Structure 1
Amino acid sequence: MEIGFKFYGYLAKLINGKKVKIFSDAVLLIATAYLMLKKAFGFSISGWLLNNVFHQSGVNVYVVVSAVILIAAVLIKIISLVVEYFPPMKHNNVEPEEISDCIQAMNMEILGHLTKCDGSNIVQINHMTEQHSFDLNIRLVVNALAEHIRKSIDSIKIKKKDLFISLYSFDRDKNALVYELHYDHKRDLVKSKVLGLGDSKFSDYESVKCFLSSNNTSYLTSKKQYAKGGNTKRYKSVKHYMGCKLETNGYDFGFLNIEFHNNSIFVDEDAMQDFMEESVLPFKLLLEYQYLKRDFFHKFNNFNEYWRVA
């Protein structure tokens, strides 16, 4: 089943190529024009060739070659129509409506900051960080991302168990990626809570490899190159993996992992990259915003050290 899906995807990619389309359309257009000319004036290329250029054997070769080219063009056209109405991708571009809920929650949090500052009580500026619900907000964003991914893949029903998302924060003191949360949080699917970036035990993990490299994203269309890790149950059913750094202007915050289980969704890495850019990137930015806000408020904890009032 998976091999057939990939073959169909590669076939669709080949048929949709510009050169193949031009060949098919040109051959069919020439054949149509020739048939109209033949019907109107009784002109026959094979007859003209027989009288002026070739012997009968040469004309027979011309007829066979022309028939093969015409049949190929017709088949290409038919397949291109099938691919157009039944695309190999199992996902569509849908509006990320879930982002609205995330932004609404963040706006309400900012309103809470303003309300507290406008209140009658004196605000202790070094306690501002307590107003930021970092843990709650990142869980809200990850859950919204999961629902958006499930909605985007509309050709098959993606159950909660078919999707695994995990979020790790970068701890500079430990030089490690430290587990924050995962989706679905009700399932016990995480065994490695601290991934030491210098520990050979985790050197094959995609998140570690990508985090230590200059790349911002990582894609695996198959689990053949995917590190088994500590959870063999997850490894058995994984089909695709994609991950991305959480960073702003070269300042790293963490890493986001997304695994697709039980169903093959993407034909190749290009399709995964398109999906990442179209569907995952907006939620990645929301997570980075939460990390930026957390670090910004953290500066208030040491107000005398980081801030100077003129």
Structure 2
Amino acid sequence: MSWIDLLMEPMGFAFMQRALLTAAAISIVCALFSCFLVLKGWSLMGDAISHAVLPGVVLAYLAGIPLVIGAFSSGLFCAVATGFIKEHCRVKEDSVMGIVFSGMFAAGLVLFSRVNTEQHLSHILFGNVLGVTDGEMLQTLIIATLVTLAIIIKFKDLVLFCFDPVQARVVGLPVRFYHYALLCLLALTIVAALQAVGVVLVVAMLITPGITALLLCKTLPRMVVIAVTSSLLSAVSGTFISFYIDAATGPTIVLIQALLFLLALAVHLLHNNRISPTTV
């Protein structure tokens, strides 16, 4: 069997076709968003919202509504609650996020343990992209497309908001609107990524591509290109590798992203050592 036949063999299965398409779409939107999260310093916010969606998933199941609605509402509540508490007390934002997301995650685990659902906890925590249905794939593609279009249309405004909110306010941008719009887009992105990597690992897909690209370039356009390329490469290769070695797909994708980060770090250190002046 040639290597082409080896690569094409998984494509004969419908579940692999759905998994690859879903993982690719998620990797692109997460990579785009990761650039803004890194620039804005919202890495912990992504972690907070990703963990806070769990109680919303359980409550949505009990209410008989789509899980995506419950996950989005729960994640958005976490973001708004964090901002409200920060504005009305002296506790720093990172501490507030730690309290809010850990409390909501714990509440979700308690609810999940007391409710008999058709969902397996490991699928929510770690994802199950190989088990994605046609409906779930379509839902993910719609969310990923909407978020990507929103980022592309408002790219320049988002860049200014993330780099210099004071200047953005001076030139007349509605800073508060962009703040909450970015949080809404973040919550939607996390909801889309749950199918692939789950609650626990989604923050890695939201942060690693941006940090990897930041090590290799100094301009935002190149950062976006490198982030999307590394994320897409990780998603596709991780899905194929997990098929052949019979491993969990989400963790495999995240592991490859971590390896790419280490490779970028090595290149960055070698480049810095090469251009640094030699001292005698």
Smaller-chain TM-score range?
Answer: under 0.3
With the length of structure 2 as denominator, give the TM-score of the two structures: 0.27
With the length of structure 1 as denominator, give the TM-score of the two structures: 0.25
Higher-helix-fraction structure: 2
Higher relative contact order, chain-length normalized (CA < 8 Å, sep 6+): 2
